[in-house]
């Protein structure tokens, strides 16, 4: 059976059998046209046959596909580059291919992290890269220092307890971002800047507006985590990138308009390479962003009697902000204000401290969900609850530092009956005395210090079903107080409040 092969402008006949496979036809074409095919770690060169607009697989035979006598097959030579590296994102659980040249393996980890940030939108200060063995990779070392080869899969880890927060930022879910914010003041401010950066990269309008209302500024650098406050020399250069740069890199026109409306200083905000948002948008070929930024840069700002070009207006505003910052710094020095890390703060130093970037979840990092768990009050200590006769008495737990427990002395039956008879006699005398003095005490103190309504001043204490020695002693103390002072406890309380 004769078929025809069209390859790069040539049209050649081939005599084959109907049972031939597509793979055998490719070998015939390779030998006839002397095509070099290869497959290695960097990529592969291979042939592809197409019939009636569909690509043919190597295991198919010509008869099964329906190729008949004098059919024409198209042949193409294709080249496929394999990724130089793979990066597994612990937040999204996805593997990201890095399509760069082999020269990337000779560069530093800092260069690789810059490329990863452009791909995933995470600021460089929220994650680190690790080797397949779990070794953290530092920015100033090269990839070959960690025995990194073609096709190696690296791991991207974030700060412990940040997975849910960053996932909310990547999806633009404002409520989820608010739920997993930190309770530490400096870390909370840093998280707001991170949320604004990611929202600007992906173009989330709602999350952008929320972050701006929380105090984050588009021309303010994301910066480093507060735990790295003393590691300025070892920090990545891109920690000084701002959300306006992320919006210009990703071509988010609506976010750019929001940022410029918030502050015109964004137009002259420069990244670590000294590029303005206009230069960044031009580099990444975002035409709409370039036209908008050009229009804003060449506009004028009109006042009552004068119009100032935008560049001059920005320089004046920058000068005013610098003067305000200098005066604020001097006032802080006068008040002996301390900025940055303080005694007792956590500080992370590469290679010396326990790593805190292992991508632990919110709960595994030791945080508690304020919305998921209802707060419970601790049990009251020494609180007497109502109980029935025969019930077991629960002994309250005591702390170790409360000292030895002192119990009242035991009272025998005769002493108890004598004490009860004496108490009843004293109660009768005190009641009569209280009735005589009630009018005088009422007029003297009650109008000045009103107390809540209460039963008669001379009422006896309630009787318990199970008599205890504590109750007996308490009643005897009240009786002794009334006998010697001449006032009931209520009258004494009114008297003391009136004197106060």
Under DSSP, the state recorded for 153 is: E
Is 498 buried (19+), middle (13-18) or exposed (0-12) by CB count in 10 A? Answer: middle
Looking only at the bridges linking them, the beta strands covering 127-130 and 10-15 are unpaired
For residue 15, the cross-strand partners are 2
The C-alpha atoms of residue 133 and residue 146 are separated, in whole angstroms, by 10
Q: Which two tokens stand for residue 420?
A: 């009860």
Whole-number pLDDT of residue 269: 92
With tokens 């318990």, the residue in question is 464
DSSP 435-483: HHHHHHHHHHHTTTS-----S-TTPPPPPPSS--HHHHHHHHHHHHHHH
What's the CA dihedral at 79, 82, 84, 89 to 10 degrees?
140
Q: What is the pTM of this model?
A: 0.65
- Give the chain's length: 500
Count Cβ neighbours within 10 Å for each residue of 72-96 and write b for 16 or more, e otherwise. Answer: ebebebeeeeebbbebbbbbbeeeb
- Residue whose C-alpha is closest to residue 222's, from 183, 289, 278, 271: 271
Whole-number pLDDT of residue 374: 43
Q: Please state, in angstroms and as integers, the Cα–Cα distance from residue 70 to each residue in 14, 48, 66, following that order.
A: 10, 19, 12
What's the alpha-carbon Rg for the chain, to the nearest Å? 41
* Angle at the Cα of 239 from the Cα atoms of 246 and 207, rounded to 5 degrees: 45
The C-alpha atoms of residue 340 and residue 346 are separated, in whole angstroms, by 12
The C-alpha atoms of residue 431 and residue 454 are separated, in whole angstroms, by 16
The C-alpha atoms of residue 346 and residue 391 are separated, in whole angstroms, by 52
What's the CA dihedral at 172, 178, 184, 190 to 10 degrees?
30
Q: Please state, in angstroms and as integers, the Cα–Cα distance from residue 331 to each residue in 320, 323, 341, following that order.
A: 17, 12, 19
CB atoms within 10 A of CB 249: 22
63: left (phi over 0), alpha (psi -120 to 50) or beta: alpha
Residues 6+ apart with CB under 8 A from 485: 492
With tokens 């071509």, the residue in question is 251
pLDDT tens, the chain, 500 aa long: 888 889 888 888 888 888 888 989 899 988 888 888 887 766 788 889 998 888 888 888 888 888 888 888 999 988 888 888 999 999 999 999 998 888 888 899 999 999 999 999 999 999 999 999 999 999 999 999 999 988 899 999 999 999 999 999 999 999 999 999 998 889 999 999 999 999 999 999 999 999 999 999 999 999 999 888 777 777 899 999 999 999 999 999 999 999 999 999 999 999 999 999 999 999 999 999 999 999 999 998 888 888 888 889 899 888 888 888 777 666 655 544 445 566 777 777 777 778 888 988 888 877 765 444 444 566 665 444 444 444 444 444 444 444 555 555 555 556 556 656 666 665 555 445 544 444 444 444 444 555 555 544 444 544 444 445 556 556 666 666 677 677 787 888 888 888 88
The C-alpha atoms of residue 306 and residue 429 are separated, in whole angstroms, by 96
CB atoms within 10 A of CB 331: 10
The C-alpha atoms of residue 249 and residue 201 are separated, in whole angstroms, by 8
CB atoms within 10 A of CB 168: 21
For residue 294, the surrounding DSSP H or E stretch is helix 287-297
Number of H helices, E strands in the chain: 15, 13
CB atoms within 10 A of CB 235: 17
The C-alpha atoms of residue 121 and residue 125 are separated, in whole angstroms, by 12
Residues 6+ apart with CB under 8 A from 294: 278
**Residue 62 — φ and ψ, nearest 5°?**
-65, -40
Looking only at the bridges linking them, the beta strands covering 72-81 and 2-7 are parallel
């Amino acid at each position: 059976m004769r078929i025809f092969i069209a390859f790069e402008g040539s049209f050649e006949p081939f005599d084959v059998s109907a049972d031939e496979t597509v793979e055998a036809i490719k070998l015939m074409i390779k030998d006839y046209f002397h095509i070099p095919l290869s497959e290695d770690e960097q990529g592969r060169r291979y042939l592809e046959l197409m019939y009636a607009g569909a690509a043919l697989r190597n295991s198919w035979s010509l008869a099964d596909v329906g190729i008949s006598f004098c059919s024409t097959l198209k042949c193409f030579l294709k080249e496929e580059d394999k990724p130089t590296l793979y990066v597994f994102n612990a937040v999204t659980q996805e593997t990201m291919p890095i399509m760069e040249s082999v020269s990337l393996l000779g560069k530093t980890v800092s260069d690789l992290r810059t490329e990863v940030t452009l791909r995933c939108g995470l600021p460089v200060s929220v994650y680190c890269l690790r080797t397949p063995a779990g070794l953290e990779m530092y920015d100033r070392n090269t990839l070959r220092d960690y025995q990194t080869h073609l096709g190696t899969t690296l791991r991207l880890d974030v700060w412990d307890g940040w997975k849910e927060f960053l996932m909310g930022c990547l999806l633009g879910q404002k409520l989820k971002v608010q739920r997993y914010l930190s309770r530490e003041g400096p870390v909370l401010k840093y998280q707001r800047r991170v949320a604004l950066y990611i929202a600007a990269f992906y173009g989330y309008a709602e999350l952008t507006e929320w972050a701006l209302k929380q105090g984050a500024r588009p021309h303010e650098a994301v910066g480093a985590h507060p735990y790295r406050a003393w590691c300025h020399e070892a920090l990545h250069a891109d920690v000084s990138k701002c959300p306006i740069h992320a919006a210009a890199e990703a071509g988010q026109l609506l976010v750019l308009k929001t940022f410029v409306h918030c502050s015109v200083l964004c137009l002259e905000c420069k990244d670590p390479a000294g590029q303005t948002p206009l230069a960044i948008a031009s580099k990444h070929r975002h035409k709409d962003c370039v036209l908008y930024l050009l229009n804003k840069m060449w506009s004028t700002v009109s006042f009552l009697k004068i119009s100032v070009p935008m560049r001059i207006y920005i320089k004046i505003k920058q000068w005013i902000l610098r003067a305000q910052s200098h005066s604020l710094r001097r006032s802080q020095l006068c008040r002996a204000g301390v900025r940055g890390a303080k005694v007792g703060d956590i500080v992370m130093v590469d290679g010396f401290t326990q790593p805190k970037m292992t991508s632990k979840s919110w709960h595994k990092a030791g945080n508690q969900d304020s919305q998921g768990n209802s707060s419970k009050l601790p049990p009251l200590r020494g609180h007497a609850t109502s109980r029935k006769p025969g019930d077991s008495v629960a002994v309250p737990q005591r702390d170790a530092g409360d000292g030895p427990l002192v119990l009242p002395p035991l009272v025998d039956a005769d002493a108890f009956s004598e004490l009860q008879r004496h108490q009843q006699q004293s109660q009768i005398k005190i009641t009569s005395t209280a009735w005589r003095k009630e009018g005088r005490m009422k007029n003297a103190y009650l109008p000045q210090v009103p107390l809540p309504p209460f039963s008669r001043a001379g009422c006896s204490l309630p009787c318990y079903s199970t008599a205890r020695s504590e109750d007996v002693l308490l009643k005897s103390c009240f009786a002794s107080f009334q006998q010697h002072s001449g006032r009931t406890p209520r009258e004494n309380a009114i008297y003391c409040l009136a004197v106060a």
